[in-house]
Amino acid sequence: ELKENTVIVVLGASGDLAKKKTFPALFGLFRNKFLPKDIKIVGYARTKMDHTEYLKRVKSYIKTPTKEVEEQLEQFTSICSYIAGQYDQDEPFQQLDKHINEIEEGRKENNRVFYMALPPSVFTTVSQHLKKNCYPKEGIARIIIEKPFGKDLGSSRQLQKALEPNWKEEEIFRIDHYLGKEMVKNLLILRFGNEFLGATWNRNHIDSVQITFKEPFGTEGRGGYFDEFGIIRDVMQNHLLQVLTLLAMERPISFSAEDIRDEKVRVLRGMPHIEPKNVIIGQYGKSLDGTKPAYKDDDTVPKDSRCPTFCAMVAFIKNERWDGVPFIMKAGKALNEQKTEIRIQFKDVTSGIFKDIPRNELVIRIQPNESVYLKMNSKLPGLSMQTVVTELDLTYRRRFSDLKIPEAYESLILDAMKGDHSNFVRDDELDASWRIFTPLLHYLDDKKEIVPMEYPYGSRGPAVLDDFTASYGYKFSDAAGYQWNTASTPNKL
Ligand code: BG6
């Protein structure tokens, strides 16, 4: 349940994450009255600012399309305050503690949620100083942490080891914001709440699974961070693997956090390492018309960078349900469109009465324009027996009136405040996920002769991509020029 008497401390309050995600989400929750009435939000960062200056900055993080929102933002700032301090000294953290104590005066409990919107370099020291200087005496303490949780299995374990003496697993909330997305949260309901899907959800009926993440912009402005991590660490080891896990796991005994996470860990443990032979990597060059920059044109990126901005890889799961089924994950920056979706391709129907009839495909569109559609064959209406590909289509915007989908961060911050761990990453889950990727990451880091294939900014990725997916059995069918019927979708993409 949601605790009254809570103070949220945002560490790294002047950074990019706080600006883009944390504060807008806190404001969204505040204005929809999801936060406890007496909530206070304290910012902490190195930048020296006075109160007015800080509030001005917080306001600049948030869009105010209407007068009403503008007024709500004004109210929001009245619960915000700021302390400036270094990340590696006791004294400023004691000051932070004093400030929180003042807020808490007269309260019978003091619950504190620490949101670490911080770069990895200061992460450990801050978590230690918080425990030492700001841990609540009476009440609940929670710490929300953000990726990158290390760079490989070894560094992730080191981070975890540094956390362990100070923070109990039940106090830790590791965010993977994909777990807060509406359609990702729907996966368990779709799979386990629909008999016809549950019955076909295995290697006997499913030929391949694809999870695709595409962004139409490059790493402009983030090159410094990105070059150290690359697309595999940035979105695949976490966001896409989370989606894969939810697609592949067995039915949990209940919806409780530990039952769900037990099943997630079990499926991860059944996955062998990703093998280099099942991977292609790419890096974007200039757009064909020359107007968009190449990855290496970014000043913060070394000219000889081998960092992948695109990757397609295939994972397998060695269990009864999935043995032999390729799980193809694709992710890229600077591509032709924005889209994250899951594509389950079923096996061919028995031949005989049909010739070349396309396969069924279940497409789950995570974003944008949340939808689920099943591509299926039907008789073309009329006198002939010709078949046509059509679909069963659940497009959220058409189906649900007054659709309001919360931001992933809103949903996750609220869960953390309620103490619900279901949509956060457990320690053993993190470990299991790094294990699957680490040999590949080391191989790519070490083998200097492996250079990513160049693809033009704004294209579909490296030219070999379609052959790559086809080699795992994926059959592309443009039968009769089939296109998902977006024309009748109000928000045409
Ligand atoms: C972040 C990555 O975790 O996820 C970014 O660091 C990426 O590189 C982002 O752009 C994608 O999130 P969303 O919610 O916009 O799909």
pLDDT of residue 356: 85
pLDDT of residue 218: 95
pLDDT of residue 109: 85
**How confident is the model over 359-372, as a mean pLDDT?**
96
CB 218 within 8 A of CB 293: yes
pLDDT tens-digit profile of 136-169? 998 999 999 999 999 999 999 999 999 999 999 9
- 56 confidence band (pLDDT: 50, 70, 90): very high
pLDDT of residue 485: 63
Ligand 1: which residue has its CA nearest to atom 9?
A: 235
Ligand 1: which residue has its CA nearest to atom 13?
A: 178
Q: Which residues contact 17 (CB under 8 A, 6 or more apart)?
A: 117, 146
Distance 317 CA to ligand 1 centre (A): 26
d(C-alpha 94, C-alpha 446), whole Å: 44
pLDDT tens-digit profile of 198-247? 999 999 999 999 999 999 999 987 878 899 999 999 999 999 999 999 99
Closest-lying ligand 1 atom to the alpha carbon of residue 215: 10
d(C-alpha 84, C-alpha 50), whole Å: 9
- Region label for 139, one of left (φ > 0), alpha (ψ between -120 and 50) or beta (otherwise): left
| 107 pLDDT above the threshold of 60 | yes
| 287 pLDDT above the threshold of 60 | yes
Distance 451 CA to ligand 1 centre (A): 24
d(C-alpha 302, C-alpha 279), whole Å: 24
Percent of the chain with pLDDT over 90: 87
Q: Which residues contact 87 (CB under 8 A, 6 or more apart)?
A: 11, 46, 118, 122, 125, 126, 129
**How confident is the model over 76-85, as a mean pLDDT?**
96
Active site residues: 239
Distance 235 CA to ligand 1 centre (A): 7
Averaged pLDDT score across all residues of the chain: 94
| 349 pLDDT above the threshold of 90 | yes
- 491 confidence band (pLDDT: 50, 70, 90): very low
| 344 pLDDT above the threshold of 70 | yes
Distance 58 CA to ligand 1 centre (A): 22
Ligand 1 pocket, mutate which of 151, 177, 183, 337 (most atoms under 8 A from CB): 177
Strands 111-116 and 141-146: parallel
| 301 pLDDT above the threshold of 90 | yes
pLDDT tens-digit profile of 371-393? 999 999 999 999 988 999 999 99
Distance 177 CA to ligand 1 centre (A): 8
pLDDT of residue 484: 73
d(C-alpha 157, C-alpha 393), whole Å: 44
Distance 209 CA to ligand 1 centre (A): 21
Closest-lying ligand 1 atom to the alpha carbon of residue 238: 3
Ligand 1: which residue has its CA nearest to atom 10?
A: 215
Q: How far is CA 330 from the centre of its chain?
A: 14
- 481 confidence band (pLDDT: 50, 70, 90): low
Separate counts of helices (H) and strands (E) for the chain: 16, 15
Closest-lying ligand 1 atom to the alpha carbon of residue 340: 16
Looking up tokens 């080191």, which residue turns up?
158
Ligand 1 pocket, mutate which of 151, 185, 215 (most atoms under 8 A from CB): 215
Q: Which residues contact 401 (CB under 8 A, 6 or more apart)?
A: none
Distance 200 CA to ligand 1 centre (A): 32
**How confident is the model over 107-117, as a mean pLDDT?**
93
Give the DSSP per-residue string, 347-396: PPPPSSS-SSPPPPEEEEEEESS-EEEEEEEEEPSSSS--EEEEEEEEEH
Tell me, what amino acid is at 77? T
Closest-lying ligand 1 atom to the alpha carbon of residue 222: 8
Ligand 1 pocket, mutate which of 176, 234, 307 (most atoms under 8 A from CB): 234
**What residues flank ligand 1, with Cβ below 6 Å?**
177, 215, 234-235, 340
3-state secondary structure of 162: helix
The complex scores an ipTM of 0.97
pLDDT of residue 3: 80
d(C-alpha 34, C-alpha 360), whole Å: 41
Ligand 1: which residue has its CA nearest to atom 7?
A: 235
Ligand 1: which residue has its CA nearest to atom 8?
A: 234
pLDDT tens-digit profile of 6-27? 999 999 999 889 999 999 999 9
pLDDT tens-digit profile of 27-43? 999 999 999 989 999 99
pLDDT tens-digit profile of 392-436? 999 999 999 888 899 999 999 999 999 999 999 999 999 999 999
